[in-house]
Amino acid sequence: MPPLTTAFAHARSHPAMPAIYGYVTHPGRTLFRLGWFVVHSPPRLENLMTESSPRFEHEADATARYWHNTPLNTLPPPDMVGNYQRFKPLPTEGIQTRKAWIVGGGIAGMAAAFYLIRDGHMPGENITIIEGAGIEGGSLDGAGNPEDGYIVRGGREMNWNYDNLWDMFQDVPALELPEGFSVLDEYRLANDADPNWSKSRLMHKQGQVLSDFTRFGLSRKQQWEVVSLLLKRKDQLDDLTIEDHFSEGFLASNFWFLFRSMFAFENWHSLLEMKLYMHRFLDAIDGFGDMSTLVFPKFNQYDTFVTPLIKLLREKGVQVKLGTQVLDIDFDIQGDQRTVTALHTRGSDGESRLAVAPRDLVIALTGSMTEDTAYGDLDTVPVLKKRHGGPAEGSSWGLWRNLASHSPVFGKPDKFCGDIDRSMWESATLTCKPSPLLDKLRELSVNDPTSGRTATGGIITFTDSNWVLSVTINRQPHFPGQPKDTVVMWVYALLMDQPGNFIKKTMPECTGREIVAELCHHLGIADQLDAIIPHTKVRLALMPYITAQFMPRAAGDRPRVVPAGCTNLALVGQFVETANDVVFTMESSVRTARIAVYSLLDLPKQVPDLSPTQYDIRNLLKGARALNNGEPFIGERLLHKFLGDTYFAHILPPLPGNEGESTRRERLEAELAGLKDKGGAVLQGFAQWLDRFAGQLRKRGDD
């Protein structure tokens, strides 16, 4: 049977052919039935398009303009997610013979291969993933054994509205469940049956849990600092740091300890990125304190996500070329257009040049959070390849730096990788047999760590630690085949330039033995080290670029997913520009991969913007309550008075249960009086402003 040739009409309306979504022609025929309508002699695309016809923006941006229904606007809102977005576009012309070269075998690269196959209809055997390491997965790692110790350089805190991630993994077969179940099914079953929460989120004074750790501890002025950041436009925040905006009091609050340790922010990191985090996780803010907003996998990130995904891709025919690094890319430049013609690679057989046809696709990772990781153990200090002057020779950062030398459309990599002291932190993975250390963590966990259920419920952070040290135990076993009497514990710290409280060294100067001692000091069990060390294996990972994506930035520092003028190249990962999403999540990696595929293939399909939870009045109200330390915010009692007996009563956070009717009435009256006084002052100030504004207008008229 001759191959079908396909083309898409981006228009959704045409006088002669209403409701056409696309057409399919067959060589030698003038008629082909597609679904429920028949296309006769398909019209030319330009005849279908009009100036008012909607055009696909493959990366939807809900903040770009006001969205409303119009006769020709058949696309859903740009941040709509759900089954309506699950449709599959028809194959594009020539897809059966086109090839794709994916540089980087982490989650972004694997996601690109997945979407090329599922939505782009590209044969799997036409796709090659080129990975510099000897194993796929990138920063999603997890390895080791009980004899030598396990290691995970980092972990992932997951959220239920990671819509691109779950879109992909609902179509990836499950690792343990029978045929027909997906990775998403496994994830939901685990978390629905075993809720996540913490009873020890913040600690201090060598083993004491902060009694009020779920309260943010923000004054009214500090609450306004948060609100004012939410109100600012993104283009007002170029190159600003968090400490440029927030007061010292805010940076010493419970809120900041919860936020910074949960997401790994430093005071000198990007204020813009913090703003984006606040918007994305606004719906989760009331669960920051006890971590009840999070969902975690059964196993580590490699076995949970990488193993089933790479298995599916290989079954589809995708080729994975490990131990091969892409050094540079050649372009054919015609005016403002750039077309990739070759990849320069280095592998075990030396350097070579890989030719790329004009209609082939290249999807490349820019930068790496875990590049040049230095490793240590119980008695060995990790040693970085290079501390100053940028990445070491042969680093995977070299590809992005070479691209940037071609054109400014590829961004400014040195803005992110040029200051290791401000982008580095260290983690330690502890493989523990029964000891006083496990006994102490058992006290701090919501379930016994060996029960297979939620343990600490996320990280426990020590607020008086000079390093800002944190520790966590996830569900055990953390690795398939892990012995039942073995627990894998993960430790990390944010500040790399301060001496410890117990060990008078910086964390990067310490052995694993010394890091365990510092941890035990903060847990109040330093006097039991001799009973702990013999039963604890330690593997260290010092990562010079682990928060490089958080470095202060301005517009143009990061390239777009498809840089201006590129005809067959897209860039993915944590160092590319997206409309509104954050970095340092699996979701953002998958998002960039999806945008890359839809854009390069010009599929008539959008990648939805962030789930619109930040605009939901319910989330705004509960967020205001959480920021106000769990107490009713100014005006909330008045809202209860107006809405308490209406259909909309349920959108309001319940008033404190220990308040009697008379107390509520008194507080409502006090609130009304306060609002009246403040309202009068506001109205008076507004009137004065109007007078000044009118005077300026009159003066301009006279001039």
Average pLDDT of the segment spanning 223-229: 98
Query: Is 277 one of the catalytic residues?
Result: yes
Long-range residue pairs from 438-447, CB within 8 A, at least 24 positions apart, any chain: 438/487, 440/207, 440/523, 440/524, 440/525, 441/471, 441/473, 441/487, 441/489, 441/523, 444/199, 444/200, 444/203, 444/209, 445/199, 445/200, 445/473, 446/197, 446/198, 446/199
Integer CA distances (angstroms), 53 to 28, 45, 48, 74, 554, in order: 31, 12, 9, 10, 34
Stretch 537-566: mean pLDDT: 98
Reported for 231-239, long-range contacts at CB under 8 A and 24+ positions apart, including other chains, are: 232/275, 234/272, 234/275, 234/276, 235/555, 237/270, 237/271, 237/272, 237/275, 238/272, 238/553, 238/554, 238/555, 239/552, 239/553, 239/554
Q: What integer pLDDT is reported at residue 688 of this predicted model?
A: 73
Phi, psi for 377 (deg, rounded to 5):
-150, -160
Long-range contacts of 77-86 (CB under 8 A, 24+ apart): 77/612, 78/606, 78/608, 78/609, 79/608, 79/609, 79/610, 79/611, 79/612, 80/608, 80/612, 81/161, 81/163, 81/608, 81/611, 85/606, 85/608, 86/167
- Residue-level pLDDT at 29: 33
Q: State residue 682's pLDDT score.
A: 60
As beta bridge partners, residue 585 has none
Per-residue pLDDT reduced to its tens digit, 116-164: 999 999 999 999 999 999 999 999 999 999 999 999 999 888 989 999 9
Residues contacting 277, CB < 8 A, separation 6+? 259, 263, 265, 582
Measured from the Cβ of residue 60, the count of other Cβ atoms closer than 10 Å reads 23
User: What number is the average pLDDT over the span 628-636?
Assistant: 93
Contact yes or no for 354/345 (Cβ under 8 A): yes
Neighbours of 302 (CB within 10 A): 19
How long, in residues, is the chain? 703
- Position 28 scores a pLDDT of 35
Q: Which of these is catalytic: 23, 115, 187, 277?
A: 277
- Check 21, 57, 93, 157 and give the catalytic one: 157
In this predicted model, what pLDDT tens digit does every residue of 274-323 receive, in sequence order? 999 999 999 999 999 999 999 999 999 999 999 999 999 999 999 999 99
Say what percent of the chain tops pLDDT 70: 89
Q: State the pLDDT at residue 662.
A: 79
What order do you get walking across the sheet with 487-493 strand by strand?
208-209, 202-204, 460-462, 469-472, 487-493, 425-432, 536-543, 374-377
Tokens read off for 106: 């982490």
- State the pLDDT confidence band at 703, using cuts at 50, 70 and 90: low
**How much of the chain is helix, strand and coil, in % rounded to 5?**
35, 15, 50
Q: Check residue 113 and give its pLDDT.
A: 98
> Is 416 within 8 Å of 575 (Cβ atoms)?
yes
For residue 357, list its beta bridge partners.
none
How many whole angstroms separate alpha carbon 449 and alpha carbon 472? 10
For residue 236, the Cα-to-chain-centroid distance in whole angstroms is 22
**Could you tell me the two tokens for 553?**
């930035």
Q: So what's the pLDDT on residue 673? A: 80
Give the pairing type, strands 425-432 and 374-377: unpaired
Residue 157 falls in the annotated catalytic set? yes
Q: What is the largest CA-CA distance in the chain?
A: 87
**3 state SS for 85-102:** HHCCCCCCCCCCCCCEEE
CB 324 within 8 Å of CB 345? yes
Question: What is the band of 701 on the pLDDT scale with cuts at 50, 70, 90?
Answer: low
